Structure 1
């Protein structure tokens, strides 16, 4: 495979993308920094096919990344292969408002051919190529220039390995016939709505107990305020205020700005500074959530009940058994929330009761809650048995008399 020097000009990038556009697939990875910023700073992009690989410097003076973004987001003929690509896709979306498509994620794909829930890249490379990756440059500062040869070599290795693993993994998927299992997951990864950052929706990411419309209305207003402050200052959300602080203020709103100094997580300066005034304005303008906007009641906890909790535990055991039997990740077949909803009597809008998931796991899950399946032990291993197939024999009679209690 040909490894190019670091690409720092638009002409070099254009020529590379024209060649890669003729490929069946390209492996893609990015290096970025986001510890101190709201928006991730793109520092390096690595791309490879089976013949060549290159690292692209987005921070190079005068470079125009348009050819690369066109290849990634507008070329439907080339499959874009990532590993754990959620953050990579997010960065591309931030630049273009579009996402790579069609897309393939090797971390997700491994869930269909092994019991790995979230296999790391190093373990993926070791499993498929028998190589050990040098992790020395993993936590480097990718924004500093110039980049060292070791940094560039490490970064390009991510896509050269991936370009070798993907064809092998694809063959395994074809052999097992599980390629269609991943269609929905890959489309979800490529869905632009997943990366669209709407400040009015930020409150949904914050844990808050209860469904009080007034409290949730304040939470929505405060979370939106924080999101806009963080975006405007390009600072992480937590640098403005932590989630726990936001939830606390929504539950116990301060009556005056001076009261902000008493809120855990805020400094004394909030009692008379500008950001504190803007926060108080957001609280004052907050309106209760409408019934339509309230989060749905989750069939968990008390609604599930003690017996329902036991049924959910049995379903989770069934899921573990089935995942082991077919050598697939349990989380790909069903989520714990779905199992609890099924145990609580929900039958509609559950992914596990649709399509291939129903055929692979959902039908047996239904049979279990309806009393048509039972657990059995065979050769020391748990398995599922249909009750109509079970023959219960009377235990042999012994001449010995059991001792009295």
Structure 2
């Protein structure tokens, strides 16, 4: 986050924070500019704004235009950069509302997937070509939904993580490796809008303008660092990704739930959340735009006994919530009148392990093993310049420590980690050291 000055650590222009330990100057403070002229001398030059290499193309929204795009991409060479825009925060669905594609030998293409029921011309054109995506897990589900699935891919964000780069957002990587500034002023717009304004289309096209170039630069860095094979295994593991697993009791993630006490008020939260979710899915509107989480919590705390009392709550008077008052009241009434055995427990069901802080009391040997495993992972991360979560998912480490295989050796540890989804490079680096660490702790206990 910081750079070394002549005698101390200083913030780069535009950065908002710096590690506290780095703020103190080692010898003398950095001189403060006396006037604007001095300031210009110490300030770093701003990177040039990335520009499109060609005018923004028309959006393909007819079968003939889709065929034209598919033919142009098929005639190109090398990997194809792909990005998708969704209307998160506006729509319930996570479908793609715009596709951006770019390949050497063809110009950038913009496709409106909403206009098509059959994307097979594009799927056929992309078949067998390496896809370059940034944060592939964000875009793959909506691409798979419309029949687009990669045979090979390169994830620029994941590559940055494997290189242990401190910031791996697309704009940051483009700035650091391509030397250009990526505009982000339209990142939160409603992409379901039709027609899409030209400035939005220009912004979207820029996301794939240098993505293939970025891919090559990152691939070179991975090769230099001896991590190319690790990245290849990570990218291969992403090919089957279709989305995160469904959450248990998703209503328990309602913001402010900690303020609600008792089973019946929790029942109000659950019923309102479910009513909102069903209505949002039917109307294809983001749930929070129909009824805010704060309104759900407000109703659960107030426990209104009549529709008029519910209507009087501030959160229910919002212009989007008001038309659906009957649905909200039906949900509240259902919880208020439910039998006790139909109410949710005060603590949620958990498919995971107990909180780590409780391990010393609930399973002391596991707590000792976890400390040993974490020390091993930390040392390996330092040695190989990796973030801990990319070397081994923390959940895998916790499960290994809680219920290790018997006997504990490199082979059994590797098998357990592979069952959880670990790649070969991860088990090759960690299994032996983890087994030795746990066995050493067991011997010392």
Q: Over residues 223-281 of structure 1, what are the superposed CA-to-partner deviations in whole Å (9 max), with x where a residue is unaligned?
A: 433211111233222234455766898899877656756989555998x9312233146
Q: What pairs up with 1:156-305 in 2 under 5 angstroms?
A: 156-173=205-222, 176=227, 177-183=229-235, 185-187=237-239, 190-191=241-242, 194=244, 202-203=250-251, 223-242=273-292, 260=310, 273-280=325-332, 283=335, 287=342, 294-301=349-356, 303-305=358-360
Task: Note if 1:20 corresponds to 2:81.
Answer: no
SS at match of 1:28: strand
Shift of 1:107: 1.0
The residue aligned with 2:424 is 355
Alignment partners' CA distance in 2, 1:246 and 1:364: 49
Distance 1:282 1:165, change over 3 A: farther
CA contact (8 A) 2:87 2:97 kept: yes
Unaligned runs of 5+ in 2: 1-51, 406-412
Shift of 1:38: 2.2
SS at match of 1:370: helix
Q: Over residues 24-80 of structure 1, what are the superposed CA-to-partner deviations in whole Å (9 max), with x where a residue is unaligned?
A: 531111334433332358554321012223242639xxx944675652489541232
Alignment partners' CA distance in 2, 1:76 and 1:313: 47
The residue aligned with 2:389 is 331
The residue aligned with 1:132 is 181
Q: Over residues 73-98 of structure 1, what are the superposed CA-to-partner deviations in whole Å (9 max), with x where a residue is unaligned?
A: 8954123221024443344355x3x4
Q: What pairs up with 1:8-87 in 2 under 5 angstroms?
A: 8-9=59-60, 10=62, 11-22=64-75, 23-39=77-93, 44-56=98-110, 58=112, 64-65=115-116, 70-72=121-123, 75-87=126-138
Distance 1:151 1:109, change over 3 A: same
CA contact (8 A) 2:133 2:156 kept: yes
Distance 1:288 1:93, change over 3 A: farther
The residue aligned with 1:106 is 156
Distance 1:57 1:337, change over 3 A: closer
Task: Note if 1:92 corresponds to 2:143.
Answer: yes
Shift of 1:368: 1.9
Alignment partners' CA distance in 1, 2:375 and 2:294: 34
Unaligned runs of 5+ in 1: 374-386, 388-405
CA contact (8 A) 2:372 2:441 kept: no
The residue aligned with 2:168 is 119
> What's the TM-score, normalizing by structure 1?
0.67
SS at match of 1:49: strand
Q: Over residues 376-398 of structure 1, what are the superposed CA-to-partner deviations in whole Å (9 max), with x where a residue is unaligned?
A: xxxxxxxxxxx9xxxxxxxxxxx
Alignment partners' CA distance in 1, 2:120 and 2:299: 42
Q: Over residues 343-374 of structure 1, what are the superposed CA-to-partner deviations in whole Å (9 max), with x where a residue is unaligned?
A: 4344585448773322212432332232279x
Distance 1:128 1:302, change over 3 A: closer
Alignment partners' CA distance in 2, 1:216 and 1:366: 44
CA contact (8 A) 1:125 1:165 kept: yes
Alignment partners' CA distance in 2, 1:185 and 1:65: 29
CA contact (8 A) 2:70 2:125 kept: no
Shift of 1:161: 0.7
CA contact (8 A) 1:32 1:42 kept: yes
Mean Cα deviation higher: 37-46 or 115-124: 37-46
Alignment partners' CA distance in 1, 2:230 and 2:74: 28
